[in-house]
Structure 1
Amino acid sequence: MCLNPKVSIIMATYNRAQFIMESIKSIQNQTFENWECLIIDDGGTDNTKDILEPLLKEDERFKYLKRTSKYQKGLPGSRNYGLDEAKGDYIIFFDDDDIAHPQNLEICVHELTTKNITFCRYIRNVFTGDFDYDFNYSKEYTSFYIDKRDINKMLKNELQFNSCAVMWTKACYNSHRYTEHLKCAEERELYARIITSVGKGISINKSLYFARKHAFASVTGNFGNREESSLKSYADATDLMVQNLTQKDLITDDILRYFIQISLDYKKYNLYHRIISSINLTSLERFKWKLFYVILPMRLYFYKIYKNKFKKD
């Protein structure tokens, strides 16, 4: 166990001069002080660097780096650059417009150094407009352990894994990086690989991070609006997740049923056939899942009618 662990905070940024200093301030206000913050600029065109210049001179824990051509443009490439430069024992990702609870690092490091775990998950809340700095400083909270047996809950989003709501041991990233061509679901695809490869982690029931919700478009918003690049990326990420689970013999009927149901919305990207071809199935099993896929739209249609009728009654 490291007696004086260091945390590497990786913050990708792109044209967020308006918000980044408020996020930076929440890092400087951390009660745990042994950290470095790697600010990775993804090719922004605003005055972010000028705004950061005084800070970089005053606090050597901050480092400003421009993403190099070795990494693809986008959040995954920028974060991979940060991972390759990180010197800490623990890794955490913060966004350039959000607010971290002052005890974020302290509580996560405490969990990681006092228990035999590889990651610490916590609660992430969302806010709009001005942030309310009335933090809850209580150190009393409930918790539960997570391991690869929980992967189905994670992939079905029943157990959410947001990128800025987990602190990881550096060892989690020894052989794992973001898939850089993915522009949507890249976090879920990476975290599924990690969680099915490492030991158990812990989830604590305490809000330690606050994500700013913008009115204007974002990558997530583009997905909600069915933008082409996001839809393709989601299909690609799903295909990769199925391949990972298959390689580790973790595919179950439950998660396969879930992915096949999703594939109905991605016929353009041939997702159903990609999923089935990734799994070792007998002829009878292939017939069973093909039948399930073919009749699924009708089942969903009648279920929707039943649900609407039940609401009216």
Structure 2
Amino acid sequence: MKFSILIANYNNGKFFQDCYKSILQQTYQNWEVVILDDASTDNSVEVIKNIIQNDSRFRWYENEKNEGVGFTKGKLIELAEGEICGYLDPDDAILPNAVSASIQVFQKKKDAVLTYSRLAKCDVNLKPISEFKAAMQVPNGNMNWFNCPVQIAPFVGFKKAVYETCEKMNPDLKIAEDQDLYFKMYEKGNVYFIDQTDYLYRAHAGGISQNDNKQKSYEYFSKAIFLAMKRRNLKTIKGKKVPETYKNSREIFDLLEYQNSFPHRVLKKLKVIFQQVF
């Protein structure tokens, strides 16, 4: 079973050496890396090509013009040759058992469409600052699930064959394209949490979800949720009407306010336990 590590690059060549080293350290060896550069304006192309050189396990592509992350990540899936795919940002890194742990779940759980583990937030030098403690198993088969509050986060692996039965990655999403993917895969089968930290997320000024992009991230996340609501043909949530058209993020997140409540969290935990036992 081959794992395709998908890398969408835009102006992050200066961090790629750490990313590259982390891939070479994987304990699971049946992998490929597909890199698609989104018309970088720095020296990323030269830097990354120099690092990967003639290693046939790394395949290099370039967009003719800047298309955005939604388009680029969708194209990466098309280019992938592996049965399982997973994204790795060029400024981040994965720990040695990341790919192996995901593959093991897919080999054992035939109903699995997506796996995910835990990330650690790191400083600019990839020194861990804190782990993402909210990551945990979510209930499967609940069409009111929208990863809000966030529990599914990288490192994520997903079946390419299942993705190809979904609506494809939305090219209009410049941020939260990962959430859009999680929702679509969730609608097709079961997702499984791997209880270990596998992904090193580098926080730095140029990061897509940093600084001025935080509010944009919030807005795109709500748009991805709204699109999922429509795709699932939801008319109401807990008695509140789902709007016909998207107006603003507040209207969407208000529908999900109950998911932060203590009773809801307890009930969700009980559902997870029940599904794990039976």
TM-score for the superposition, normalised by structure 1:
0.68
Displacement of 1:146? 4.5
Partner residue in 2 for 1:52: 48
Does the 8 Å contact 2:38/2:72 carry over to 1? yes
C-alpha deviation, 1:144, in angstroms: 4.8
SS of corresponding position for 2:195: strand
**Equivalent in the alignment of 2:191:** 201
1:147 aligns with 2:143: no
Supply the distance in 2 between the matched residues of 1:238 and 1:220 (Cα, whole angstroms).
21
Q: Which amino acid aligns with 2:49?
A: E
Structure-1 residue corresponding to 2:72: 78
Partner AA of 2:228 in structure 1: M
Cα distance change of structure 1 residues 206 and 251 upon mapping to structure 2, 3 Å threshold: farther
Aligned to 2:109: 115
Give the conservation status (yes or no) of the 8 Å contact 1:154–1:161.
Answer: no
Match in the other structure for 1:182: 173
Question: What is the SS of the residue equivalent to 1:97?
Answer: coil
Structure 1 contact 8–92 (Cα < 8 Å) conserved: yes
Structure 2: distance between partners of 1:234 and 1:120: 20
Change (3 A) 1:234 1:207: closer
Paired with 1:24 and 1:201, the residues of 2 have a C-alpha distance of 27
- Deviation per CA, 1:129-183: give whole Å up to 9, x if none: 32349xxxxxxxxx8574222x5454322x5223x32111122211332111122
C-alpha distance in structure 2 between counterparts of 1:83 and 1:17, whole Å: 21
**TM-score for the superposition, normalised by structure 2:** 0.76
* Equivalent in 212, 215, 226 of residue 202 of structure 2: 212
Could you say if the C-alpha distance between residues 85 and 24 of structure 1 is closer, same or farther in structure 2, counting changes exceeding 3 Å? same
CA drift at 1:240? 1.1
Q: Which amino acid aligns with 1:178?
A: M
Cα distance change on mapping 1:27 and 1:167 into 2, 3 Å: same
Write the letter of the residue equivalent to 2:160. K
Distance 1:217 1:207 in 2: 21
Distance between the aligned counterparts of 1:250 and 1:165, measured in 2? 32
CA distance 1:239–1:201, shift in 2 (3 Å): closer
Where 2:232 maps in the other structure, the secondary structure is: helix
CA distance in 2, matches of 1:81, 1:213: 26
Matches within 5 A, 1:34-49: 34-49=30-45
**Structure 2 CA distance for partners of 1:32 and 1:243, relative to 1, 3 Å:** same
Q: Give the equivalent residue in structure 2 for 1:252.
A: 237
1:191 equivalent in structure 2: 182
Q: How far apart are residue 76 of structure 1 and its match?
A: 0.9
The answer (yes or no) to whether the contact 2:6–2:88 under 8 Å persists in 1 is: yes
- Per the alignment, residue 270 of structure 1 pairs with 247
Hey, what does 1:87 align to over in structure 2? 81
More strand by proportion, 1 or 2? Answer: 2
Distance 1:253 1:155 in 2: 17
| 1:105–1:238 CA distance, 2 compared to 1 (3 A) | closer
Higher relative contact order (CA 8 A, sep 6+): 2
| Contact 2:39 2:64 (8 Å CA) reproduced | no
Aligned residues: percent identity? Answer: 23
Question: Aligned match of 1:9 in 5, 15, 23?
Answer: 5
Amino acid corresponding to residue 156 of structure 1 in structure 2: C
Q: Unaligned regions of 5+ residues in structure 1, if any?
A: 134-142, 261-266, 276-288, 297-313
Structure 1 residue 188 displacement after superposition: 1.8
- SS in structure 2 of the partner of residue 156 of structure 1: coil
3-state SS of 2:26 partner? coil
The separation in 1 between residues aligned to 2:24 and 2:211, in whole angstroms, is 30
Does structure 1 retain, via aligned residues, the 8 Å contact 2:175–2:208?
A: no
The residue type equivalent to 1:88 in the other structure is: G
> What pairs up with 1:130-169 in 2 under 5 angstroms?
130-132=125-127, 144=137, 146-149=139-142, 151-157=143-149, 159-162=150-153, 164-169=154-159
SS in 1 for 2:212: helix
Residue 252 of structure 1 aligns with an amino acid whose one-letter code is I
Q: Residue 181 of structure 1 aligns to a residue in which SS? A: coil
Query: Is the Cα contact below 8 Å between 2:92 and 2:201 reproduced in 1?
Result: yes
Counterpart CA distance in 2 for 1:31 and 1:80 is 27
Per the alignment, do residues 152 and 25 of structure 1 end up closer, same or farther by CA in structure 2, a change over 3 Å counting? same
